[in-house]
Amino acid sequence: MHLSTGFLATLGGMQFSPVSRSRGTGPSAVERAYSHVADAIISGELAASALITEGDVAASLGLSRTPVREAFLALESAGLLRLFPKKGAIVTAVDDIETAELLQVRMLLETKAVQLLGERPGQIDAVDAELQTLIQAQTDAAAAGDLLAYARADHRFHARIVDETHNRVIDEIYSRLGPRLERLVHRVAVRDPDNIDRLIAEHRLLAEHLRVGDTAAYDTALRAHLESGHRVPRML
């Protein structure tokens, strides 16, 4: 992403000011709490409508409640939790309408990015090389049965393309949507594990369309990829 690291640092859609980071090289307490809960929600370990509390998370990680409270606020901002003061937090549910709306945003931003990249043909090879690396990461994660790593690599593939808008506001929006999009991808992988190879093959096709600068073919292939993978026919 093109956000200034001196102003904002982003982890899984959560934006941390520099003061919230630890002074060492490891993750801060807030980041640990955020990642712990986000991973559990994205992977389905924490199901929709599950109730969690700051105290439970703090105890499981050996943290005080203060960083957990900050992580909960960020998770609510990312759309993964709904907070209820003095009671705890409820894991959000994702219905068909929200799924379609999230995928609409992905498609609009991604197709615009491909169009803009097509105006900079000298940069296509470098982007393609990164996409091939991400496709390999998806393949490796799927082979290892690590669906969380697969979902993250899948999202990074699409996010890398969106990066090519070179628009900091879009970067910020897409980064914030990241955990919700990863959750959708993980759900697809769990529901249809036999289709993972097909979905990866579709990523290779998307990369090929991008490489040759065929924006129209990319748009058509992306629409088919999203609608069939997420079972939202004619909703995009």
| 9-91 fold | Arc Repressor Mutant, subunit A (1.10.10)
Backbone angles phi, psi at 181, to 5 degrees: -70, -40
pLDDT at 204: 98
Residues of the chain with CATH 1.10.10.10: 9-91
Residues of the chain with pLDDT under 50: 1-23
pLDDT at 33: 98
Q: Indicate the angle between helix axes 147-162 and 168-191, nearest 10 degrees.
A: 150
Residues of the chain with CATH 1.20.120.530: 96-230
Local structure of 182: helix, strand or coil = helix
pLDDT at 215: 94
pLDDT at 21: 46
CA angle 103/232/196 to nearest 5° reads 80
Give how far Cα 198 sits from Cα of 82, 186, 192, 233, Å.
35, 15, 10, 17
pLDDT per position as a tens digit, 81-110: 999 998 999 999 999 999 999 999 999 999
Question: Is CATH 3.40.1390.30 the classification given to domain 96-230?
Answer: no
